[in-house]
Structure 1
Amino acid sequence: MKQLFPGLLIALSIILYSCGENASTAKKEQSSAEQAAPEEATEVKQVKASFTNVDANAMAYIKKITDNYLQIKNALTAGKATDAGDAAKNMGEAIKGFDKSLLSADQKKAYDVQEAGLKENAEHIANSTNDIEHQRERFSNMSEGMYALVKAFGGGKTLYHDHCPMAKDGKGAMWLSETKEIKNPYFGTKMMECGSVEEEIQ
């Protein structure tokens, strides 16, 4: 009996140690799962345009401005300052040609708030084909105006509101994209995938 007792103690110790290890492993696995879960659970916010009764011809102007904006974005992403300048020039012309008489009073008010800023930023980008960093700085301002415009009118297609926390010396900047895949216009090939999708705008 005396010889059996130490054996039982050893066996019990092994069982307890083993359970402790399993519990510890399970806890680690649970902790890892909890850390991974928020990323997987992140959902992109769905946004609908405020105005649903926009005249078809007015919407064609908005779509043209949006398409020019996206061309600027894609050119900056590819590091092509000249192409960005050309697209910005086209955007300026589209803004000038917009027949605002097609808009209702409320719609015109919403558009007018953004028009001057979009024009000014388009001019700067068009005239700075030798300075892509200045173009990118102006593009961040333009993106704020386009975001407000698209939230009001839509862009004629599904758009994604993206954000990069590293842009503008760590202050962060947003942009709109026609694709869900992140392609950063502020860093291009240096940090192409830096950023995240914040909203999907219909």
Structure 2
Amino acid sequence: MSVHHIPESRIRTRHVVVMGVSGCGKSTVAKGVAEAMNLPFAEADRFHPEENVAKMAAGIPLNDDDRYPWLRDLSAWMATQAAQGQSTTMACSALKREYRDILRAGPPELCFIHLNGPMEVIAERMAARTDHFMPVSLLASQFEALQPLEPDEVGVVLDLRKTPEELIDEAATWLRDR
């Protein structure tokens, strides 16, 4: 019996980004999806350089010059994982189409799960959390920057007012059906 190894470039991987404004539940849902789909999880915020974190903690919105290197790093990380035959799940704001285009440039297959809902609901959640650098004061700037998924982007929009368990189930079902 002969064993054939699949070249790394032909290994099929799947990369999922759970996206939305700060406080929408990206990390919780992405971790749950990663567990449900048996995929590793990465928190995009952990890839931010210290300067970006300091700006946000001070209530200063990031500009595109701050974001582009960070997004390229995320894309490169997913591409590296894909080259090793490893799929990924990531929580990342991915607010603008151009940001998602940068992310898509890395891995061979990338889809988005957009957690969307009213700003008031998210502001209440953000005000209640104590373990995050993003202040509620930056939420309006995130909504201003948010560009919904376009028809040619692979993704699904879920209502963040549902429970995390419901969102995880819906996202995992959508991914399995793809």
TM class by smaller structure:
under 0.3
TM-score by length of 2: 0.26
Question: Higher helix fraction: Structure 1 or Structure 2?
Answer: 1
Relative contact order (alpha carbons < 8 A, sep ≥ 6): 1 or 2 greater?
2
Look at both structures and tell me which one has the larger radius of gyration over its CA atoms.
1
TM-score by length of 1: 0.24
